[in-house]
Amino acid sequence: MYWEPHLETMPRAHLHALQRQRLQATLRRAMTSAYYQRMYREAGVAVDRIQGLEDLHQLPFTTKQHLREGYPFEFLTIRKDDVIRLHSSSGTTGQATVVCHNAHDLASWANLIARCMYMTGARPADVFQNMTGYGMFTGGLGFHCGAERLGMLTVPAGAGNSKRQIKFMQDFGTTIIHAIPSYALHLLSVFEETGVDPKPDIQLKIAYLGAEPYSEHTRKRVEEGLGVKVFNSYGLSEMSGPGVAFECPEQNGMHIWEDAYLVEVLNPTTLEPMPDGEEGELVLTTLDREAMPLIRYRTRDLTSIVPGACPCGRTHKRIARIKGRSDDMFIIKGVNVFPMQVETLLMSVPEVGRNYQIILENEGPMDAMTVRVEVQHEFFRGDVKSLKALQQRITAALKGELLFTPKVALVEPDSLPKSEGKAVRVVDHRRKE
């Protein structure tokens, strides 16, 4: 029932003692990184005065911007030679951020994901088919290594090629899958096309969905269509990736692993702590990461702590479904996209004006993104060929950065809302709860 009974059901007083001890170690370690050394010196923070959790508020926050400034290796507390993997996430201004891991970090991360999966009923006899993209996306390798750590037969199928995915499921006896929600829905329609009925023909029992917001309605459709139980997953690349928080069989919030992450939920404006049950921005401190500890990292994700104890017996707090972002980032096809990132790319194409608009909508079961771009007077040559070429060039530029292919619609000049004032850059028509 528990992967690590001692840690998962640890009485809260003991958990706090463990957190206190790990926080102090983490802070000492952070002070050996060039970035934190400078940041804390400039902020006048004396780390040795931080005794416990009650002193946490004295520490400055770490933000995505800091990670950009410290790119790529200024946050390292170990020699670069001892780093064995890094993951990078796309940035808002073309500047990416990285998270580096040593052997301890990767083992600890894989263990957390194994803990999540074991919690949902995954066992070494299961066959796990990982249907997300690999590469820099932490969801791919993260789940992969967690599944291997648990001891499952792990199939690194990657994203796409749905008919082959279904064949794999039949041939290998897949029991558990991991996918982004829009892909899971797509898979349902492919099952229909191929005439394979997942319920008798395939032995699936669990699906992990994450990396993209999705509704309870979507969860139900996937559960009914595939004959599985769907579990929510929460993670972010700065906190290594998936494995930060996960649903237990009670499915009332996601347990956030407090032996590995120190959890704060703060009012995003006043930065005061919010009481349990009330929504605020999730702020996390790593407690078990060596190469690159992050202190009070502002995730920008809005959530609340689910009050009370969980009947499953785990003592770690639960966070509610993520309500949104405290900034304007959106997630589509598992990719984090900032409007600014799109703007930067568009501005690298001389024919494109500053005015653009991002439309997000459901296209069948998938999410689709359309970038509407105004064509500039001086570049309109009056022929179809150059318009098509322009459209293709913009699409290629966006695809190169976003890693999926958005639709590009060319529109007349001055037909989009102006960038001055409150321009509506992102219009999200996707179905909500």
Partner 1 sequence: MIAYHISVFAENRPGRLDHITGVLAQANINIRAIKISDLGEHGVVKMLVDDPDTAYHVLKQAGVLVSQKEIIAVGVEDRPGGLHAVLKVLTRQRINVEDAYGFVLHDRAVLVIEVANVAEATSLLQGAGLHLLSKEEIYALG
Q: Enumerate binding residues for partner 1 (CB under 8 A).
A: 375, 377, 380-385, 387-388, 409-415
Reference 99, options 42, 148, 137, 47; nearest CA is 137
Nearer to partner 1, 220 or 388 (CB): 388
Length reported for the chain: 433
Cα dihedral sign, 74-296-319-279: negative
Nearer to partner 1, 277 or 413 (CB): 413
The least CB distance from residue 405 to partner 1, in Å, is 16
Nearer to partner 1, 412 or 433 (CB): 412
Q: Which long-range contacts (CB under 8 A, 24 or more apart) does 159-164 make?
A: 159/131, 159/132, 159/133, 159/183, 162/186, 162/187, 162/190, 163/190, 163/194
Nearer to partner 1, 6 or 385 (CB): 385
Nearer to partner 1, 308 or 413 (CB): 413
The least CB distance from residue 364 to partner 1, in Å, is 18
Q: Can you list the positions of beta strands (E) in 248-327?
A: 254-256, 261-266, 280-286, 297-303, 305-306, 318-319, 324-325
The least CB distance from residue 353 to partner 1, in Å, is 11
> What does residue 85 show for φ and ψ, rounded to 5 degrees?
-155, 150
Nearer to partner 1, 30 or 373 (CB): 373
The least CB distance from residue 389 to partner 1, in Å, is 12
Nearer to partner 1, 17 or 396 (CB): 396
Tokens coding 328:
């304007």
The least CB distance from residue 189 to partner 1, in Å, is 24
> What does residue 391 show for φ and ψ, rounded to 5 degrees?
-60, -40
CA distances 102 to 81, 85, 114, 132, 236, Å, are 9, 7, 18, 24, 18
Nearer to partner 1, 375 or 398 (CB): 375
The least CB distance from residue 119 to partner 1, in Å, is 47
The least CB distance from residue 340 to partner 1, in Å, is 25
CA distances 19 to 45, 57, 178, 260, 298, Å, are 20, 15, 31, 8, 19
Residue 311: CB atoms within 10 A of its CB come to 10
The least CB distance from residue 380 to partner 1, in Å, is 4
Q: Say if CB 158 and CB 130 are below 8 A apart.
A: yes
Q: What share of the chain is helix, strand, coil (3-state, %, to 5)?
A: 35, 25, 40
Nearer to partner 1, 7 or 408 (CB): 408
Give the DSSP H/E element, type plus range, for residue 8: helix 5-8
Residues 6+ apart with CB under 8 A from 417: 355, 357, 423, 424
Kindly state the DSSP code that residue 277 receives in the 8-state scheme.
T
The least CB distance from residue 386 to partner 1, in Å, is 10
